[in-house]
Chain A
Amino acid sequence: MSPRAMNPPVPAATDPALIRNFCIIAHIDHGKSTLADRMLGITGVVSDRDMRAQYLDRMDIERERGITIKSQAVRMPWQVGDTSFALNMIDTPGHVDFSYEVSRSLAACEGAILLVDAAQGIEAQTLANLYLALENDLEIIPVLNKIDLPAAEPEKYAKELADLIGGSPDDVLKVSGKTGVGVEELLDRVVERIPAPVGRADAPARAMIFDSVYDSYRGVITYVRMIDGHLNPRERIQMLSTKATHEILEIGVSSPEPTPSKGLGIGEVGYLITGVKDVRQSKVGDTVTTAARPATEALPGYTEPLPMVFSGLYPIDGSDYPELREALDKLKLSDAALVYEPETSVALGFGFRCGFLGLLHLEIVTERLEREFGLDLIATAPSVIYEVTTEDKKTVTVTNPSEFPTGTKIVEVREPMVRAAILAPKDYVGTIMELCQSRRGALIGMEYLGEDRVEIRYNMPLGEIVFDFFDQLKSKTAGYASLDYEPTGDQAADLVKVDILLQGEQVDAFSAIVHRDKAYAYGVLMTGRLRELIPRQQFEVPIQAAIGARIIARESIRAMRKDVLAKCYGGDISRKRKLLEKQKEGKKRMKMVGRVEVPQEAFIAALSGDVEKKDKK
């Protein structure tokens, strides 16, 4: 066993028997990136000096949040005995929003390292991904990380892991990505346990796209796993889903910088550059074949990404609208799942209705827009897809409360459902069940994981989850609970649209589709928030919540009675004029709803629930 391989196998000419393709399944902050970096260092593909912390995570947001959004693959040489192997480590996104991407990354591997924090134990998302890995017949290598931590309880969690996947607690490797302890043994274990890829050398080439990344200099970089045959430089390739053909401008492997090769053969993992500029032309899960001798059968598992959660994104400064459009157009190049169309709102002005894979996806997109494009944004309350059938037997798909049919009788509203799995210490079971039940959850089952942790499974409307559920879950469990969910279909429910009216004018951004039993609570909440946030006007302003024409809640802002500076003498005049000029500037940021002047901040605070009592003076 040597830390550096003597004769690393050459890409394009590597015997599949010497290849091991694996990924690391881990929860956010369980140390996946640190371990991956350590492997890069030990195998010598990154010199210690060049090592950037968490090399694989390219985006700043990822590094800051310690999560991986976009996966990549790195080829590392590793010698066991006299033989040099090529290990391809495929990084997977860790979050449920990206479960499709996860499933494609898993499909590119023969094995997976199940990495669990020795101080925290397994989390819900990791379990979900573990199930996916087992479904893909992956060989699982259980590993406890961070054993250097004083709080580590390796024995306890080794038993938990062994209980979960079978085998003995002694089979669980104990490593520290931070200090490097146990990492060489882990690489040996990868070679020993993970099967070599198999494929047909003489069949038409088939490669599965497991990631596709936009690079502003080089265009789209497509990451593939070869299944059958061979791909060569300058060859014309075809995407099986669209039949579009492109010429390979560059083909190679990452180790970890892109290194051109003479092609890719069976079982190899590498990248292609064809000059396309939009990740939509290189879709995750699609099959790449050659134009000259195309395969006829696509690799299994490809699906189009489907947005599940919708929200309106608005620039806080209305004049940033063109910048927002440009930024979304650019983001789209690197994010195949992002969809959007222009939308206008009385309260918020011009913006875009955007579709996301889930809440994290929404958060990441918003954050990238703010950070990479310098935009200040407000997002409306997330909504899901409802199917609304009216009396005349027409069915409308509603992703925005404004599309909810009015003036006609609603026969049925169907809402998307998910199966939610929540993992938490057993002490929180009561709290969690209470929360889930208040969100119209139906208990499916509950299971102990080890001695003190429980997995609770619920059927729940997705609409209940996207509205503040995760924050509530976290705050009610001191941050211990973790959540995973997967769509399971839809159900009919008694849902209504609640509108919020300001002096009789509907404020669109606050309309929401909610269960009838919660309509009143929503109405009271929103009218109350707005009453606190909207400054008094020169006249009384009624704030109402309504279902159709029926008012269900009402508040009012009393007319302002005093707005005058008591003393205005010689020395006060400059100050007064400047104040007036400032107020004039401030007025530009006011939104008019009818005659009511509302500071944009009030709408934003009401939407985000960030309500501080306005100055009642």
Chain B
Amino acid sequence: MASALPLGDPAPADGLLPESAAAGAADRAFGVYVHVPFCRVRCGYCDFNTYTSDELRGARQADYADHAIAEIRMSRQMLEASDLPARAASTVFFGGGTPTLLPAADLVRMLGAVRDEFGFEPGAEVTTEANPDSVGPADLARLAEGGFTRVSFGMQSAVPHVLAALDRTHDPARVPLVVGWARDAGLDVSLDLIYGTPGESIDDWRRSLDAVIAEGPDHVSAYALIVEAGTKLARQIRRGELATPSDDLEADMYELADELLAGAGYEWYEVSNWATDAAHRSRHNLGYWRSDDWWGVGPGAHSHVGGVRWWNAKHPSAYADRVTARVSPAVGREVLDAAARETERVLLLTRIREGIDLATLSASGRHAVAGLMADGLVDAKAALSGALVLTMRGRLLADAVVRRLLDESSELSSRT
């Protein structure tokens, strides 16, 4: 979750949603995201809303679960008061920050509050992120007992100099251990990788991919490093201490990732995500790309319900003050109009393998598909059977594809 909050309208203190948010809700999955805004150290590339103990200004990590639980309780009341139908959570995702910096008991307690308020759908997916050096076998077992089904480890790289450039503190040798413990506890495992780190060669990257494949997780995410403004990394690049990762090298790395992962039996299902099979795709994240509904709990967390997006106060102490006073922690929101919702639908669905039903596109969007096929950006076979699915090249140029799909002044209008 990016740190800078968007500009929007003020959010109402009672957390009530406009009427439009309820329309069609019964057909949309509902998820809960719980943000845990704590880290032991801040990584140089990270612009997420997270705080080390020095930065907390009196907000105490120990009280955090109580505050989050207060919001979880409020969330159910606010949805109810906004005439949203009662929906069981189909996914819960604990992200951060480093959720596992909190005692497993706190995580389980927060998850319990979600269960109390909403209930879980059968087979609900419950994930937590974890750092390889912040969990042990006992923690993982406790999480599994408490209802977690999946853990996503921030492995990032298997190469020490790359981890050092990212300020990651864990020993690469710890990854096989934590993966083993998670498996023993019965959890599904996902590994996160970052590529394009300053100083990382294509061979370094290959080593990391090989290491991941050797672990045989159920799911892999691989993200090109984003140099976010305001991060230590951005400053180091600006001062010339580190080289900007090159787009071409990143493209090579992406292609290598897809090649090696595919060879090991992983299928891409989103631009940056691969899974062994459809059952192991992250259903929580698919909810984001399908414009489903979710409530984001915690400081700076974003929520979306039926075309209304809102975001909470960023700092843990400001957040704590609001939920303690039983005031909605949301500080801003936007109510999307039909055009904005369509833009989001196209930009999000384009990213995933299930793609977009061509029949749902505008006339100019449908027309643009021919050009995209000709340029090798969308899969011709899928397009002929009615779906827009990106090719490898298309995935690397997904944003350009989206712009062409949404360009009303595309070739169609100039020809007619």
Which residues does A use to contact B, with CB under 8 Å? 538-539, 560-578, 580-581, 583-584, 587, 616-617
Residue on B nearest A539 in the bound complex, by CB = B375
* CA distance in complex: A581, B246 (Å): 25
**In the complex, are the beta carbons of A577 and B301 less than 8 A apart?**
no
Q: Would you give the shortest CB distance from B83 to chain A, in whole angstroms?
A: 23
The answer to whether A572 and B248 touch across the interface, beta carbons within 8 angstroms, is no
Contact A563 to B347, CB < 8 A, known contacts A569-B1, A574-B309: no
9 smallest CB-CB distances across A and B, nearest first, come from A571-B1, A561-B251, A571-B302, A564-B398, A566-B224, A574-B6, A566-B223, A562-B251, A562-B247
CB distance A587 to B407 under 8 Å? yes
Knowing A573-B304, A580-B406, A617-B247 are in contact, say whether A563-B6 is a contact too (CB < 8 A): no
- Could you tell me the distance in whole angstroms from the C-beta of A353 to the nearest C-beta in chain B? 27
Q: Bits for B375-416, please: 1 = Cβ < 8 Å to A, else 0.
A: 101000000000000000001111110110011000000000
Is B200 an interface position by the 8 A CB rule? no
Known A-B contacts A565-B226, A571-B302, A580-B347; the reply to A560 vs B397 at CB < 8 A is yes
- Given A562-B248, A564-B395, A573-B288; 9 other pairs, CB 8 A cutoff: A560-B400, A561-B248, A564-B271, A564-B396, A570-B296, A571-B2, A571-B300, A574-B8, A580-B406
Q: Does B272 contact A (CB under 8 A)?
A: yes
CA distance A250 to B311 in the complex (A): 72
Taking CB atoms, residues of chain B closer than 8 Å to A566 are: 223-226, 271-272
Determine whether the beta carbon of A584 is less than 8 Å from that of B288. Answer: no
Which residues of chain A come closer than 8 Å to B202, judged between CB atoms?
none
CB atoms of A571 and B248 under 8 A apart: no
10 contacts between A and B (CB under 8 A): A538-B377, A564-B397, A565-B399, A568-B271, A569-B288, A571-B311, A573-B288, A573-B302, A617-B244, A617-B247
Q: Is B343 an interface residue (CB 8 A)?
A: yes
Chain B, interface SS category: mixed
Q: Give residues 240-254 of B contacting A (CB, 8 Å).
A: 244, 246-248, 250-251, 254
Q: Which residue of A lies closest to B346 (CB)?
A: A580
Asked if B340 is an interface residue, CB under 8 A from chain A, the answer is yes
Given A570-B1, A573-B348, A577-B340, CB of A562 within 8 Å of CB of B254? yes
Q: How far is the CA of A563 from the CA of B377 in the complex (A)?
A: 12
**Which single member of A538, A580, A584 contacts B375 (CB below 8 Å)?**
A538
B224 closest partner in A (C-beta): A566
Contacting residues, chain B, for A561 (C-beta < 8 A)? 247-248, 251, 396-397
Residues of chain B from 5 to 60 with CB closer than 8 A to chain A in the complex: 6, 8, 33
Contact of A577 among B254, B271, B343, B375 (CB under 8 A): B343
Chain B residues with Cβ under 8 A from A576's Cβ?
A: 347
Q: Which residues of B contact A580 (CB under 8 A)?
A: 343, 347, 399, 402-403, 406
Cα A584 to Cα B351 with chains together (Å): 19
Do the beta carbons of B347 and A577 come within 8 Å of each other? Answer: yes
Q: Does B215 contact A (CB under 8 A)?
A: no
- State the CA gap A575–B2 with chains docked (Å): 9
Please, what's the 1-or-0 string for B328-344, where 1 marks a CB less than 8 Å from any CB in chain A?
00000010000010011
Chain B residues within 8 Å of chain A by Cβ, number: 50
Distance in angstroms from B33 CB to nearest chain A CB is 6
**A565 nearest in chain B by CB position:** B399
Give the complex CA separation of A562 and B304 in angstroms. 29
> Which chain A positions have C-beta within 8 A of B226?
565-567
Distance in angstroms from A331 CB to nearest chain B CB is 34
* A563 x B223 contact (CB < 8 A): no
Contact of B407 among A571, A577, A578, A584 (CB under 8 A): A584
Nearest B residue to A573 via CB reads B344
User: What A residues does B375 contact at CB under 8 A?
Assistant: 538-539
Chain B positions within 8 Å of A564 at CB level = 271, 395-399
Q: How far is the CA of A560 from the CA of B397 in the complex (A)?
A: 8
A569 to B244, CA, bound (A): 24
Question: Which residues from A are CB-within-8-Å of B289?
Answer: 568
Q: How far is the CA of A581 from the CA of B407 in the complex (A)?
A: 10
Residue of B nearest to A567 (CB): B223
In angstroms, how far is the closest chain B Cβ from the Cβ of A244? 50
Chain B residues in 8 Å Cβ range of A568? 271, 288-289, 347-348, 351
Question: CA of A583 to CA of B309 in the docked complex: distance in angstroms?
Answer: 21
A539 to B251: give the CA distance in the assembly, Å.
15
Q: How far is the CB of B28 from chain A (nearest CB, A)?
A: 14
B94 surroundings in chain A (CB, below 8 A): none
Q: How far is the CB of B102 from chain A (nearest CB, A)?
A: 20
Chain B hits for A572, CB < 8 A:
1-2
Q: Are A563 and B396 in contact (CB under 8 A)?
A: yes
Nearest B residue to A568 via CB reads B351
Residues of A within 8 A of B395 (CB): 564
Q: Which residues of A contact B271 (CB under 8 A)?
A: 564, 566, 568
Q: Is B285 an interface residue (CB 8 A)?
A: yes
A560 / chain B contacts, CB cutoff of 8 Å? 247, 397, 400
Kindly provide the distance from the CB of A562 to the nearest chain B CB, expressed in whole angstroms. Answer: 4
B120 is an interface residue with CB less than 8 A from chain A:
no
Cβ of B210 to closest chain A Cβ, rounded Å: 21
A569 to B91, CA, bound (A): 14
Beta-carbon contact of A574 and B302 below 8 Å: yes
With CB as the reference atom, state the residue of chain A lying closest to B49.
A571
Q: Which of chain B's residues have a CB closer than 8 A to the CB of A573?
A: 288, 302, 304, 309, 344, 348
**Separation in Å of the A467 CB from the closest CB of chain B?**
36
Interface contact B6-A578, CB-CB below 8 Å: yes
Determine if A538 and B400 form an interchain contact, defined as CB atoms under 8 angstroms apart: yes
Closest Cβ of chain A: how far from B188's Cβ, in Å?
A: 19
Q: Are A563 and B302 in contact (CB under 8 A)?
A: no
Residues of A within 8 A of B377 (CB): 538
- Considering the complex, give the chain B residue whose CB is closest to the CB of A558: B248
